[in-house]
Amino acid sequence: MTPDDHLLTEQGLTPQGAGRILLIACGALAHEILALKRANGWDHLDLQCLPANLHLWPDRIPAAVESAVRAHRAAYDEVFVVYADCGTGGLLQAKCAELGVGMVEGPHCYSFFEGNAAFAEKADAEFTAFYLTDFLVRQFDAFVWRPMGLNRHPELRDMYFGNYTKLVYQAQTNDPTLDAKARDCADRLGLAYERRFTGYGDLATTLGLVAGASGSA
């Protein structure tokens, strides 16, 4: 257990003092948010992560976010939602507006890691690309291979991925182990491989603005 692991559980949230900000985030972003907190000394930010597998049922994300906001907002000066739209079709943005809390801009994490403007510029040329982040490389079997039934029916691969041409690994960190695993993911899917170092992209910029808003950063 790391010193920050307790921040990933509701029971571990113990805000103290003025200027506290709660980040309600997708569990797939936990490593990245904690890394940014450590690197920037954002000790006034607490983190509450929702299960990453909500992405398998994006229609459930707005209600889960609402529940977390309502459970904790009284204890914090500000609450910020670290999700993009993530397949909710605008419903999460509408829910955040209703609750009066901010959220990350963009359609999904692939976009804000790349940088929303840069991702949009590539959209027409990369509509046949399949993207993975550090989290999805680590959790490829749990979030891609098994949910799609490819562990039981590998013959479905071409049905699912026949229209894709390459796998783009958007690397948040320089980790040779993850790079090798991402290459293996591309091979298993029968796709060309491209590694693209994005770092934390717009996530870092956005959290920097949120952290600075309290005047405590």
Q: Report pLDDT for 15.
A: 62
Q: Where are the domains of the chain?
A: 5-109+200-213, 116-197
Q: For residue 116, which amino acid is it?
A: N
CATH number of 5-109+200-213: 3.40.50
pLDDT band for position 127 (cuts 50, 70, 90): very high
pLDDT tens-place string over residues 129-178: 999 999 999 999 999 999 999 999 999 999 999 999 999 999 999 999 99
Contact 54, 61 (CB under 8 A): yes
pLDDT band for position 50 (cuts 50, 70, 90): very high
Tokens read off for 106: 């963009």
In whole angstroms, what is the distance from residue 113 CA to residue 11 CA?
A: 30
- Bridge partners (DSSP) of residue 170 are 133, 196
The answer on pLDDT for 205 being more than 80 is yes
Q: Around 138, how many Cα atoms within 13 Å sit in the side-chain half-sphere?
A: 11
42 secondary structure, DSSP code: -
Backbone angles phi, psi at 45, to 5 degrees: -100, 130
Residue with tokens 């039981």: 152
